[in-house]
Amino acid sequence: MNALGLIVEYNPFHNGHYYHLTQSIKETNADIVIAVMSGNFLQRGEPAIVSKWDRTKMAIHSGVDLVVELPYAFATQKAETFANGSVSILEALQCQSLCFGSESGDISSFLLANEFLIHNKKQYEELIQHHIKTGVSYPTALTLAFQSLSNGHEILDLSLPNNILGFHYVKSIHQQQAKIKPYTIKRSSAGYHEQDFVSSTIASATSIRKAIFANKDQVANYVPKETVKVMDKYKDQQDLLHNWEYYFHLLKYSIMTMSEEDLLTIYEVEEGLENRIKKNIHSAVSFQDFMERIKTKRYTWTRLQRLCTHLLTKTTKQQMSYIDQSETSPYIRLLGMSSKGQGYLNSIKKQIELPIISKLSTFQHPLLELDIKAAATYNMIFPEPLRSKLLRTEYATPPIRLENN
């Protein structure tokens, strides 16, 4: 079977995702769709609006056949590491293709950019370090270094978020010598960070979440009916949809009970940041307020949100040391599947070299322990007895089996 791989977050699944899904199937002539999806905490350092189990339901109902979890250690990372973990899982699941959305919409520009930087690797890395020393953020340094090397020739605009991710997918495929063929679909209508609705049917996940938390009714125009059902049911049962403000008291407690030396053991806390974090946490009255206080030119909002996620989960540099040694995921965690997805998995299971996890009790690994801790942290905002019930779901929930439409 011709297996198509997608790298997703579905926070939540919306019409733009459905467009990307259907166009990707047409572009690659796929028989089966496999999605590697971030768990309860996402690449931009945010808690997902609903749990990974509920986002899995959205995905399968909308046409995905197999959903697997991208481990926390890769999911809450810069684009390069995020891409490495995702591509390694899709390669292990024998995907013939990977299709991603981009502002470019032209796969040849990604292939050309990757080839260009391979030939100019040393200069590129030197230019990155040069720009970082000027005080700019890491993503900005990457963009400036690429622009300097290409002498103003527009090979690929690496200042745009989806182009950046797409470039790293292509780079990961090359570095891992994966058999996956990359494709890209041009993003339609809404930009990645678009705050407001600019189309009648397609909007960015950012603008959709903004409207949801503002209690606006027009969200239904921008998401499939099943997404609305899943979110409504989740809110009825849990009495909330997740955002950072619900976790701020936990973050504040975590920081205030740690010394500056302890803070330096946390992943992504670089020397000097521990002082800034300690100085501002006491007077901050909300997560938004805290972020505005610690934001600098050098550290992007997204980078600081990821740092806060690691502070919240108390994830240390030592615990994350595995990804410094290996760029690939050590296991595949199943979240859900259709009958077609289950059939595909059964047909290739003996050829898959990575352990496939459907029950947590059957496998142990330091990165899996981080996934479990992240899931526990995600559910700590609930009162008892709901909290204990949800904490058990990480162990008690088998892969979801649904039929897609």
- Numbered residues of the known binding site: 7-20, 101, 162, 187
The continuous run of DSSP H or E covering 38 comes out as strand 32-38
Residue type, 322: Y
Closest by CA position to 143, among listed 133, 131, 153: 131
Structure tokens belonging to residue 132: 């970082």
Cβ neighbours of residue 54 under 8 Å, at least 6 residues apart?
230, 231, 234
Structure tokens belonging to residue 39: 């768990």
Count of C-beta atoms within a 10 Å radius of residue 165: 21
Closest by CA position to 251, among listed 385, 377, 75: 377
DSSP string, 91-132: HHTT-SEEEEEESS--HHHHHHHHHHHHHTHHHHHHHHHHHH
- Could you list the residues known to form a binding site for ATP, using ranges: 7-20, 101, 162, 187
Phi then psi for residue 275, to 5 deg, are -70, -45
HEC string of 160-212 equals: CHHHHHHHHHHHHHHHCCCCCEEEEEECCCCCCCCCCCCCCCCCCHHHHHHHH
Classify 105 in phi/psi space as left (phi over 0), alpha (psi -120 to 50) or beta.
Answer: left
The continuous run of DSSP H or E covering 274 comes out as helix 273-281
CB 317 within 8 Å of CB 274: no
User: What is the C-alpha separation between 65 and 337, in angstroms, rounded?
Assistant: 5
CA atoms within 13 A on the CB side of 223: 29
Closest by CA position to 358, among listed 404, 305, 401: 401
User: What is the C-alpha separation between 153 and 313, in angstroms, rounded?
Assistant: 43
Write down the residue that tokens 């990707």 correspond to: 24
Write down the residue that tokens 């989960």 correspond to: 313
Closest by CA position to 334, among listed 10, 31, 134, 39: 39
**Beta-bridge mates of residue 102:** 186
User: What is the C-alpha separation between 80 and 175, in angstroms, rounded?
Assistant: 11
